[in-house]
Amino acid sequence: MIAGNHKPALTSVDEAIRRRIHLIPFSTTIPLEERDPDLADKLKAEWPGILAWAIEGAVCWRMLGLAPPTAVRDATAEYLAAEDTFAQWIREECVTGRQHFGIGAALWDSWSRWARTVNEKPGTRKSFAQAMESHGHALGRSQHVRRYQSIDLADHARSRFDDRADLQ
């Protein structure tokens, strides 16, 4: 559990992170004049009931698994989408669909340039391949060229590489 005023910055958003992160939105602030400075003392009498409630919740969790409420699921999805810079690059710089097959070198070059532009570390070509795979774009070969399935550079991103013979 992480308790803090700021959400942690994630270096990658993969399936492992998606399984582990649940953002609980604390959207209510009790005004100072409504806060009860004696609340902790008042709750002491309720400790047995609070413990029974916690145990009941733990038993339900063990039997059914974690079932976060809609507010937690929505806040988590929004947070992870904002932290997934790789998916953001795909949305901004690429086109996707079954008809697309992007050349690995061009996609890598686009990703690494874009990542540096937004102050992210692009990582290695190996981590890039893993990110492509985890985002649903498998690596393949066609005519001895490494290509990723169902993704390619968008026209505006491709135009940056038109004069680079090594990416043709």
Res 110: pLDDT: 96
How far is residue 7's CA from residue 117's CA, in Å, rounded to a whole number? Answer: 22
DSSP string, the chain: ----SSPPPPS---HHHHHH-----------GGG--TTHHHHHGGGHHHHHHHHHHHHHHHHHH-----HHHHHHHHHHHHHH-HHHHHHHHHEEEEEEEEEEHHHHHHHHHHHHHHTT-----HHHHHHHHHHTT--EEEETTEEEEEEEEE-HHHHGGGTT-GGG-
Res 114: pLDDT: 95
**Exposed / middle / buried, residue 13 (Cβ in 10 Å: 0-12, 13-18, 19+):** buried
Residue type, 39: L
Res 161: pLDDT: 61
pLDDT, one tens digit for every residue, the chain (168 residues) = 788 888 888 888 888 898 999 999 988 999 999 999 999 999 999 999 999 999 999 999 999 998 999 999 999 999 999 999 999 999 999 999 999 999 999 999 999 999 999 999 999 999 999 999 999 999 988 778 889 999 999 999 888 765 554 544
Res 141: pLDDT: 83
Residue ranges, comma separated, of all CATH 1.10.10.10 domains in the chain are: 85-167
Q: What are phi and psi of 84, to 5 degrees?
A: -85, 85
Res 64: pLDDT: 93
Strands 94-103 and 139-142: unpaired
> What's the CATH fold of domain 85-167?
Arc Repressor Mutant, subunit A (1.10.10)
Q: What is the pTM of this model?
A: 0.70
Res 109: pLDDT: 95
How far is residue 110's CA from residue 103's CA, in Å, rounded to a whole number? Answer: 11
Burial annotation 82-118 (CB, 10 A radius, 16+ → b, else e): ebbbbbebbeebbbbeeebebbbbbbbbbbbebbeee
